[in-house]
Chain A
Amino acid sequence: MIRVENLVKQFGAKRAVNGVSFSVERGEVLGLLGPNGAGKSTTMRIITGFYPATSGRVTVGGHDVALDPIRTKALIGYLPESAPSYGDMTVHGFLSFIADLRGLSGSAKKAAVHGAVETCLLDSVLYQPIDTLSKGYRHRTCLAQAILHDPDVLILDEPTDGLDPNQKHAARELIRRMGETKAIVFSTHILEEVEAACTRAVIIDRGSVVANGTPAELKARSVTAGCVRVTLAGTAPEAAVAQFGQLPGAARAELLPSDNGTQGRVTVRVYPQRDEAGAIGAAGAALTVAVAQAAQAGGWQVQALSTEEGRLEDVFRSITLPDTVAR
């Protein structure tokens, strides 16, 4: 549905987007991650036809944005970063205006506006001037504008920014649900959102794609992925760390700061051995069992035992942090 090929955007001396490529099919929700200033918004503005690309190509539903902007824009619903709207209009007036420009009229227009109002829970403020709305409601009004015409493609720049926790949750659910039948790209700084709503995530740093995969694949790149986390009672911390660190398949073990020593409880993280490529071997994969057996042999009481999936935050930081510091 969306194809981005070698996108470059130059602002004077500044290269905001530097050879970004990805594609999104119908049924996919792509999360766009990256530090501030990475080029997420710029990429989205090029896809939606607001900025022309310096070089590279964007096609949406087979139409080239640069060559056939009107047809492309008709396929897209776009929520810009600042969620702009006309403050002097009422919510209803604003959505009607957008529907007019989307070529909707009569009963189709009525149904479209009604549907968007219902989805974004705007009933209670329908005839209020947008200027007088709270930030979250203004944001939802602009979101309603984006989904009004039931587009095949949604480009949402930080769609949950400024929403309360309930609304954040609702927005994620909405994105996930709509993603079943549409192609969606959304950017966010909230990593849980990626796991909650995305089928795939792309991390952009300084204008380039530095990671592209499913949330699970990305998490597996975290240093803590595949680690065994065990909480014990009835042991000295040092003894447990030493014992687990020597297990076959274990690289090392460390004491976690959570309630160490209190009521004699100890939490230890055991890292599996990895080869050069970072893959975990057979012994590492069986580490959980080995840890459980070692605890039993030592006569320690196991209160909790789990294998860690890794955390997106760690991956995000390890990929993008060195660059941020260097800047």
Chain B
Amino acid sequence: MKKHGSAFTNISGIVRRELSGYFGSPVAYVFLVIFLLMAGFLTFTVGRFFERAEASLVSFFTWHPWMYLFLVPAVGMRLWSEERRLGTLELLLTLPVTLPQVIIGKFLASWIFLAIALALTCPVWLTVNVLGSPDNGAILTAYLGSLLLAGSFLAITSMTSAMTRNQAVSFILSVMICLLLVIAGYSPVTDLLTRWTSPAVVSAVASFSVMTHFDALQRGVIDLRDVGFFLSVIGFALFGNAVIVRGLRAG
């Protein structure tokens, strides 16, 4: 009997390949620099971190949905479209690995990359600790929320990138879907909506927004329903991803 790997070795093999793909190219470092510059700019200049004179990171986390809206699709857009364009999908899917293993491996690798980018923002956290005494538990919760938010956008991007061979198309599609998930609960938009429809409808729509669920985590409140929301978005999108890849092969 010929050997084949366990689920764990298969997934870790794929994660390692994807990560070495990220760090083997200068694009990754450019991305990290842009990510940090943007986070810094939004926090300190637009968010007026110092003028607030608060020992908290609200002005930092508040911008994350908007930042991720573009940066996460940029990280994930090539996940599947590139495999389709190069024909390596055929190679990958004829190896003794299951489709869920490939999907999870690819997703995890990009998520780890985003987590590294997020971890590199720790100087902001150090700064508030030097300047005052913030609630570090709340900050940790906010970091968790941010990571889940990035994961949700990433899963959506992974799904859209399976729809096309073209990275640019996959980028635009995922930005659009993520934008919908953001503005459905963005207060300027919801305020506008209440003028036309009942508040019940508006809050029902808003409950599907990442904003609603990110807000609580960002303020340091861990609610399992919020965590569950992000995890279900991830699960849903990755399931959609599998359906799309299966459909590609069915012809």
Task: Report whether A104 and B3 are in contact in the complex, using a CB–CB cutoff of 8 Å.
Answer: yes
Say how far A228's CB is from chain B's closest CB, in angstroms. Answer: 49
| Contact, CB under 8 Å: A51 / B86 | no
Cβ of A151 under 8 Å from chain B: yes
Q: Which residue of B lies closest to A48 (CB)?
A: B94
CB closest residue in chain A, given B2 = A74
Question: A73 touching B96 by the CB < 8 A rule?
Answer: yes
Q: How far is the CA of A89 from the CA of B9 in the complex (A)?
A: 19
Interface membership of chain A positions 72-83, coded 1 if the CB is closer than 8 angstroms to chain B and 0 otherwise: 011110101010
Q: For B95, list chain A residues within 8 Å (CB).
A: 73, 98, 101-102
Which residues of A in the span 1-24 have a Cβ within 8 Å of any Cβ on B?
Answer: 9-12
How many B residues touch the partner, as a band? 20 to 34
Please give, as numbers and ranges, the residues of chain B lying within 8 Å of A88 by CB-CB distance: 21, 24-25
The docked-state distance in angstroms from the alpha carbon of A10 to that of B249 is: 12
> How far is the CB of A72 from the nearest CB of chain B, in Å?
8
Query: Would you call A158 an interface residue if the criterion is a C-beta within 8 Å of the partner chain's C-beta atoms?
Result: no
Interface positions of B from 1 to 53, Cβ below 8 Å from A:
2-6, 9-10, 13-14, 16-17, 20-21, 24-25
Q: Which of A45-64 contact B (CB under 8 A)?
A: 45, 48-52
Residue in B9, B14, B16 whose beta carbon sits within 8 Å of that of A103 in the complex: B9
Task: Check A80–B2 contact: CB distance below 8 A.
Answer: no
Q: Specify which chain B residues have a CB less than 8 angstroms from the CB of A89 in the assembled complex.
A: 17, 20-21, 24
Asked if B90 is at the interface (CB within 8 A of a chain A CB), the reply is yes
Does any Cβ of A come within 8 Å of B97's Cβ? yes
- CA of A219 to CA of B16, assembled, Å: 51
When chains A and B are docked, how far (Å) is the Cα of A93 from the Cα of B95? 17
Chain A nearest CB from B162 CB (Å) reads 15
The chain B residue with its CB closest to the CB of A51 is B249
B-side contacts of A105, CB under 8 Å: 9
Please, which residue of chain B has its CB at the minimum distance from the CB of A75?
B2
State whether A84 touches B25 (Cβ < 8 A): no
Complex CA gap A52/B94 in Å reads 12
Contacts of A10 in B (CB 8 A): 251
Q: Is residue B232 within 8 Å, beta carbon to beta carbon, of the partner chain?
A: no
A177 at the B interface (CB under 8 A): no
CB pair B96–A102 under 8 Å, yes or no, is yes
Q: Complex: how many Å from CA A88 to CA B13?
A: 16
> Contact at A84–B88, with CB atoms within 8 Å?
yes
CB-defined interface of A238-250 with B at 8 Å, one 1/0 digit per residue?
Answer: 0000000000000
Interface string of A90-106 (1 = CB under 8 A from B): 00010001101111110
Query: Which A residue sits closest to B13, measured CB to CB?
Result: A100
CA distance A182 to B201 in the complex (A): 65
Using Cβ atoms and an 8 Å threshold, which residues of chain B touch A100?
5, 9-10, 13, 16
Cα A140 to Cα B232 in complex, Å, equals 44
Looking at the complex, which one of B2, B3, B17, B93 makes contact with A97 (CB distance below 8 Å)? B17
B98 within 8 A of A: yes
B4 touches A103 (CB 8 A): yes
Any B CB within 8 A of the CB of A234? no
Q: Does A110 contact B (CB under 8 A)?
A: no
Smallest CB-CB separation from A70: which chain B residue? Answer: B96
Q: Which residue of B lies closest to A83 (CB)?
A: B87
**Please, which residues of chain B bring their CB within 8 A of the CB of A11?**
251
In whole Å, how far is B78's beta carbon from the nearest beta carbon of chain A? 11
A152: interface (CB < 8 Å): yes
Query: Which residues of B sit under 8 angstroms from A84, Cβ to Cβ?
Result: 86-88, 90-91
Q: Is B250 an interface residue (CB 8 A)?
A: yes
Contacts of B20 in A (CB 8 A): 89, 93
For residue A71, CB closer than 8 A to chain B, the reply is: yes
Where the two chains meet, the residues of A that have a C-beta atom closer than 8 Å to any C-beta of B are 9-12, 45, 48-52, 69-71, 73-76, 78, 80, 82, 84-89, 93, 97-98, 100-105, 142, 145, 149, 151-152
- List 8 A-B residue pairs with CB atoms under 8 Å apart, sorted by A's residue number: A9-B251, A49-B94, A50-B94, A69-B98, A71-B96, A78-B91, A101-B5, A105-B9
